Structure 1
Amino acid sequence: MPKILIVGGGYAGYYTALKLEKWLRPGEAEVTVVEPLPYMTYQPFLPEVVAGSIEPRHAVVGIRRHLRKTRIVTAKVTGINHAAKTVTITPAEGEPWEEDYDTIVVTAGSVSRTFPIPGVADNAIGLKTIEEATAIRDRIIDNFERASTLPEGPERDRLLTFVVVGGGFAGIEVFGEMRGLASALLQNYPNLTIDDTHFHLIEAMGRIMPEVSLKTSYWVLKNLAQREAIVHLETQLTSAVDGKIELSTGETFESDLIVWTAGVMASPMLRNTDLPTEARGRLTVQADLRVINGDEVVDGAWGAGDVSAVPDLTGGGVGGFCVPNAQHAVRQGKRLAKNLVAVIRGEVPKEYVHKNLGAVASLGLGIGVFQSGNIAIKGLIAWFAHRGYHGLAIPMWERKARVFTNWLLNFVWKRDMVGIIARDTPRAAFEEFASRPKPAAEPAAVAAAPVAAVAAAPAAPAAAAAVEAPAKKAPARRTPAKKAAAPAAE
């Protein structure tokens, strides 16, 4: 059977494998997915995970549970040699190995794109993984706990100052959800008020959320301002060393939490491949998702998702390419699977075409925006639209059921606002009280004590006489081990 190897188990890779399982006939192909994580993360839910509105495990989909016919390899692809049709697979444990294939599907996704700003790499946190979302949530809740015991002053201000860098959809959504979580937490801390909290969003451009109209973006800015959240437009972060925020406007303040959402870039894994890439490091593909080198199709190579520069035939993309989001990645995965099956059966693959119906975002509990063409909906109705769309869009019915049930329970008992900051150091409680063996005495150190006493004897006659008497009773020479056991008086 031909071997199909899928690099990455994110949206595009997961849906490619899922649909191949559905459409391939028995014996038509052997499918392998190489992915270092045992789950696919539904990233549009990460802001709600931060806010405590969704249980973290409900925002991920187990790969092995749902890909029953696919071979799963929990490891990283660290190199692609398409000329030899082999990949280098590097597991977390053990030695790397080479594996051959007939067809490769590159869906390695993207990572947070950062700039060499002092302090960002050491102090900021991204919003690309479920682990980052839960860490942000736990940090906010823990900071409230710590701040509640402090008097007014710089340290309390630092704990209750939260910064988001990037005013795109991800940045605005997590900013609004963080503000909503903080407002809900204030109900539990009578000694803290909304004036004690400080929220700053930093955006280098002159506007936020380019996916919506300018009028809608102004409404979002007004809503955030009413909730005591500050948006700095046409402003750049120049330094974040030790949590001290310095802006291009000259303003400075300190923060204990910096969330970075200022863009993504293709997986750096593509630097170790002979497949063609474009200036931004993305795989060059044509509209039917086959990899191309100039005008020539690269046989046996396909790409989709954030890692690929997929032409947007609707004309609505940025620079002529599909924007890197979940809408495109999911649909590209489905189209890629259909095209793979078509090629295996000697048919012609079809081009990927998808026109976005609109953009929808949640800004916190009960607050949302929806934009489709010139139609804009704001407030509660848009928020319901956001939840309805993404609740149905997350893969697998068991996950949809868990998410909707979670939302229903939150409606009855409110969101879960318990932070588990100790999950970052799970062994701390055990280590603090664990019994340890007493350190053994150093033989060399103990043996050195009598030698030093003998060396000092000429300068102390009385001591010499005291030592001389017992020495006559023990004329036999002792070994260093026996000396170590001798009484200290000797």
Structure 2
Amino acid sequence: MALTPTYSDRPRVLVVGGGYVGLYTAFKLQKKIAKSGGIVTLVDPLPYMTYQPFLPEVAGGNIEARHAVVSHRRHLLETELIQGSVTGIDHENRTAVIAPADGGAPIELPYHDVVVAAGAITRTFPIKGLAESGIGLKSIEEAVALRNQVLSLIEQASTETDPAQRRRALTFVVVGGGFAGIETIAELEDMARAAVKLNDRVDQSELRFVLVEAMGRIMPEVTEAQALWVVEHLRSRGVEVLLNTSLDNAEGKFIKLINLPDKSVAQEFDAETLIWTAGVMANPMVRSTDFPIEPRGRVSVNAQLQVSGEFGVIENAWAAGDVAAVPDVTGGLPDGTCVPNAQHAVRQAKRLAKNLWASRFNKPLKGYKHKNLGAVAGFGEWKGVAKIMGIQLKGAPAWLAHRGYHGLAMPTVERKFRVLMDWFIAMFTGRDLTQLENLADPRGSFVAAATPKPKPAAAAPAAPAEAPKAEAPKAEAPKAEAPKAESPAAPTGAPKAQVREEATAAN
């Protein structure tokens, strides 16, 4: 008998997305809403929240992949969880349409309040070959795949005799000079150097790392002097830093780079690994709602994190994080909104939860206000850069600040402990340099073992060397048969002896 899933009929706070904003909003509201007779429902295609600042360290083998994510099911015990994607919101009728992750029939879910927290996706451009050759670094799956790919390519190159194929395997390109791109190329370069030390068939000089940035500088979050230091630091490690340069083509993993603004060819070469970290954009699902959308594709909200447009506030609709254009009264981007980072998202989620709860009792709502404390970045073991409340750090102090800040910012005590243990163990044992193969086809070896093998062909009736002996009697067969016809009573042994003698004579 088929079972039909049942969903609560209590007044619902629908949270769309399970990232920073979704996780913290649900966590802060679930008990209060439950006590008031309602329920919080969180919808996300994934069963976990990903702490994205740790993705470069996951790719670099310093943090176990599962420790950089937070389970919804484990930590949102009083929240109704639905694994799927919201494909449409009709706020006028207070309903949302959900496509289950397992491909089941769409679900139409009523709600009282809705929190749009769908986050951002990777922003790409129509570059030929990018979709086929590139990989991003926005998910835990991408980080794991990158780690395995880099380590596997080093192993493959160690037995490759074709110089061109060897260069292709050991060339790694990162497009995007923001925090994500810089941390990614630095962590991967650090890991690759450590892996090559264990492989005598590959020389350090064969590794090639290329950073491509379309702007004239990298990392706009830090000072210009610090950005220049980072470029010098990377180049001292052998990383090619190409500023004012853009990716023009990547078909067949043949990389074509052009200079900006004259668009002349800068470099052309083969590279097996192309990593795209050139920015993010608001989740396009918001265009399937009846909410006001600003020019950059984000939901328009006021300082209280209520969805609002030219006709004022839309009741019972809230949004925050990367998917929302949250006003920054302290001074943010040129358009006056908060930058899309984890620091703002976590704090906005807490303010949103308080304001939503206060609105139930018609209490005054407070506006979101937070001055950015700065930025920290890690470039591999004991290397980094930071700007914290105006204080500039680089090298080991910045690296320690990076780990200290993100260790505290990682959601839940349980995950904090796991990450700290990863770091502690790595201090004594180093990075984990073991790649996991065949993740894309885990059943391959089993299928090969379980597939019936064809039966071996039947053996030949006689060995070729003895063929002449078999043929000789056949040639003299008429002489052997003659005595039988003329004298039936003759002993049978006579003809056989005669045949043997004739066969001997023939040989």
TM-score normalised by length of structure 2: 0.85
Which whole-Å deviations, capped at 9, do the CAs of 1:243-281 have from their partners, x for residues lacking one? 110011311011111111101011111121111101111
Following superposition, the deviation at residue 295 of structure 1 comes to 5.0
Q: How far apart are the structure 1 equivalents of 2:204 and 2:344?
A: 39
2:246 corresponds to 1:204:
no
Which residue, 425, 437, 448 being the options, matches 1:421?
437
Q: Secondary structure at the match of 1:422?
A: coil
2:482 paired residue number: none
Which residue, 372, 382, 405 being the options, matches 1:389?
405
2:41 paired residue number: 32
Q: Secondary structure at the match of 2:35?
A: coil
2:462 paired residue number: none
1:476 paired residue number: none
Following superposition, the deviation at residue 192 of structure 1 comes to 1.5
Which whole-Å deviations, capped at 9, do the CAs of 1:87-140 have from their partners, x for residues lacking one? 001112310021111111000011000000000011101111000000000000
Matches within 5 A, 1:102-117: 102-117=112-127
Q: How far apart are the structure 1 equivalents of 2:161 and 2:233?
A: 30
1:79 paired residue number: 88
Which residue, 48, 72, 91 being the options, matches 2:57?
48
2:104 corresponds to 1:94:
yes
Q: How far apart are the structure 2 equivalents of 1:50 and 1:32?
A: 32
The question of whether the paired residues in 2 share the 8 Å contact of 1:167 and 1:202 is answered with yes
Aligned pair count? 439
Q: How far apart are the structure 1 equivalents of 2:242 and 2:61?
A: 26
Q: How far apart are the structure 1 equivalents of 2:335 and 2:137?
A: 25
Q: How far apart are the structure 1 equivalents of 2:390 and 2:419?
A: 31
Q: Which amino acid aligns with 2:230?
A: V
2:327 corresponds to 1:311:
yes
2:74 paired residue number: 65
Following superposition, the deviation at residue 85 of structure 1 comes to 1.1
2:225 corresponds to 1:215:
yes
2:137 corresponds to 1:124:
no
- Runs of 4+ in structure 1 over 6 Å off: none
Q: How far apart are the structure 1 equivalents of 2:221 and 2:417?
A: 30
Which residue, 364, 388, 402 being the options, matches 2:380?
364
Q: How far apart are the structure 1 equivalents of 2:318 and 2:154?
A: 48
| Structure 1, 233-242 or 410-419: larger mean CA deviation | 410-419
1:404 paired residue number: 420
The question of whether the paired residues in 1 share the 8 Å contact of 2:158 and 2:199 is answered with yes
2:148 paired residue number: 138
The question of whether the paired residues in 2 share the 8 Å contact of 1:135 and 1:421 is answered with no
Q: Which amino acid aligns with 1:315?
A: G
The question of whether the paired residues in 2 share the 8 Å contact of 1:3 and 1:29 is answered with yes
2:479 paired residue number: none
Following superposition, the deviation at residue 22 of structure 1 comes to 5.0
Q: Secondary structure at the match of 1:108?
A: coil
The question of whether the paired residues in 2 share the 8 Å contact of 1:203 and 1:234 is answered with yes
Which residue, 187, 196, 211 being the options, matches 1:177?
187
Q: How far apart are the structure 1 equivalents of 2:353 and 2:287?
A: 25
Q: Which amino acid aligns with 2:119?
A: G
Structure 2 residue ranges without an equivalent (≥5): 1-9, 260-264, 456-507
2:369 corresponds to 1:353:
yes
Q: How far apart are the structure 2 equivalents of 1:217 and 1:374?
A: 15
Q: How far apart are the structure 2 equivalents of 1:352 and 1:217?
A: 30
TM-score normalised by length of structure 1: 0.87
The question of whether the paired residues in 1 share the 8 Å contact of 2:159 and 2:201 is answered with no
2:318 corresponds to 1:302:
yes
2:341 corresponds to 1:325:
yes
Which residue, 18, 25, 31 being the options, matches 2:27?
18
Following superposition, the deviation at residue 83 of structure 1 comes to 1.4
The question of whether the paired residues in 2 share the 8 Å contact of 1:371 and 1:377 is answered with yes
Q: How far apart are the structure 2 equivalents of 1:29 and 1:335?
A: 20
2:168 corresponds to 1:158:
yes
Q: Which amino acid aligns with 1:418?
A: T
Q: How far apart are the structure 2 equivalents of 1:29 and 1:22?
A: 10
Following superposition, the deviation at residue 421 of structure 1 comes to 2.7
Q: Which amino acid aligns with 1:180?
A: D
Q: Which amino acid aligns with 1:68?
A: L
The question of whether the paired residues in 1 share the 8 Å contact of 2:31 and 2:78 is answered with no
Root-mean-square deviation (CA, aligned residues, Å) is 1.4
Q: How far apart are the structure 2 equivalents of 1:287 and 1:29?
A: 26
Q: Which amino acid aligns with 1:284?
A: S
Which residue, 427, 430, 439 being the options, matches 2:446?
430
Of structures 1 and 2, the larger Rg is shown by 2
1:457 paired residue number: none
Q: How far apart are the structure 1 equivalents of 2:105 and 2:379?
A: 46
1:378 paired residue number: 394
Q: How far apart are the structure 2 equivalents of 1:379 and 1:23?
A: 45
Q: Which amino acid aligns with 1:375?
A: I
Q: Which amino acid aligns with 2:74?
A: R
2:258 paired residue number: 248
Q: Which amino acid aligns with 1:88?
A: V
The question of whether the paired residues in 1 share the 8 Å contact of 2:30 and 2:39 is answered with no
Q: Secondary structure at the match of 1:364?
A: coil
Q: How far apart are the structure 2 equivalents of 1:301 and 1:139?
A: 43
Higher-RCO chain (CA-CA 8 Å, sequence separation at least 6): 1
Q: Secondary structure at the match of 2:193?
A: helix
Relative distance call for 1:276 and 1:363 in structure 2 (3 A) is: same
| Structure 1, 410-419 or 25-34: larger mean CA deviation | 25-34
| Structure 1, 23-32 or 203-212: larger mean CA deviation | 23-32
Q: How far apart are the structure 1 equivalents of 2:15 and 2:330?
A: 27
Relative distance call for 1:212 and 1:32 in structure 2 (3 A) is: same
2:17 paired residue number: 8
The question of whether the paired residues in 2 share the 8 Å contact of 1:163 and 1:258 is answered with yes
Q: How far apart are the structure 1 equivalents of 2:302 and 2:364?
A: 14
Q: Secondary structure at the match of 1:248?
A: strand
1:468 paired residue number: none
2:501 paired residue number: none
2:474 paired residue number: none
Which residue, 328, 333, 355 being the options, matches 1:339?
355
Following superposition, the deviation at residue 433 of structure 1 comes to 2.5
